[in-house]
Amino acid sequence: MKRQFLLYAFLFSILASCNQSGNTESPETNTAKATPTQTAVEEKPAPANNSAASADDNAIATIDVNGVVIKLHQLVKFEPKGNQFLKADNAKFNYYITDVSITNNTNETINAGTDFDFAIDIESKEGKRFWKIDPSAKVLSLHDMEVAKRDQAAYDKLWSKINAGEKVRSFLKGYEVPKEVVPYKFIYDNVGKGIKKEQVLNQ
């Protein structure tokens, strides 16, 4: 009787091991299949990027400087997280990126960087302007890292030469604006050439 019991026990153990070997997935694998992993990156809708946008799209402000058409397509507001090198203070400031295009309708090549970009700014209703190279570079970098990268080739082109008939569009400048101040106008103010043009933002 004892020998028969041992034989049954032996056969049971063989059957059990065969059953386990037929299942090639570990308990961990089965669990992963049953419930999605908690470390998976959550998919979020991508923010609007202007890499494929057209200079012919609608704008919230348009300025024509002797055949060179400058459009502000969007004033993109965002809340940067910042880091140890690029500080952000969302309690004190609002952060904006300008989405700008330049269309050269003249018969000559223009130098957008020297003749146009440096003269572009946004202005409050009280006449306060905000563009400064240092915070602008910081805000652009934070937007690149945290929201959407600018089209680098278009950005570089907007700061260089634009041929006759050519159109270029990119995120162009970053702004750090005090919370109590609201951007009101898009302006072009070229003191050297004595040209000043402005348009109230259509938002």
Give the separation between CA 154 and CA 50, rounded to whole angstroms.
10
* Share of the chain residues as helix, strand and coil, in percent rounded to the nearest 5: 30, 30, 40
Helices in 23-171 by DSSP H: which ranges?
Answer: 27-34, 112-115, 133-146, 152-158
| In contact, 85 and 141? CB cutoff 8 Å | no
pLDDT at 169 over 80: yes
The residue whose two tokens read 């989405």 is 99
Q: pLDDT value at position 134? A: 85
Token couple for 133: 């190279």
| Reported pTM | 0.73
Q: What is the mean pLDDT of residues 152-165?
A: 96
Token couple for 150: 């600018």
Digit-coded pLDDT (tens) for 12-58: 343 334 344 344 333 333 333 333 333 222 333 334 455 557 998 99
Provide φ and ψ at 167, rounded to 5°: -125, 135
Residue 47, classified by CB atoms within 10 Å of its CB into exposed (0-12), middle (13-18) or buried (19+), is exposed
Q: Which of 49, 175, 160, 48 is nearest to 104 (CA)?
A: 160
Give the separation between CA 195 and CA 200, rounded to whole angstroms.
17
pLDDT at 4 over 80: no
Give the separation between CA 11 and CA 153, rounded to whole angstroms.
73
When comparing pLDDT for 130 and 24, which is higher?
130
Provide φ and ψ at 153, rounded to 5°: -65, -40
Q: pLDDT value at position 203? A: 72
Residue 70, classified by CB atoms within 10 Å of its CB into exposed (0-12), middle (13-18) or buried (19+), is buried
CATH for the 61-200 domain, from 2.60.40.1240, 3.40.50.720, 3.40.50.10860, 3.40.718.10: 2.60.40.1240
Token couple for 184: 């009101």
The residue whose two tokens read 């952000």 is 88
Q: What is the mean pLDDT of residues 159-184?
A: 96
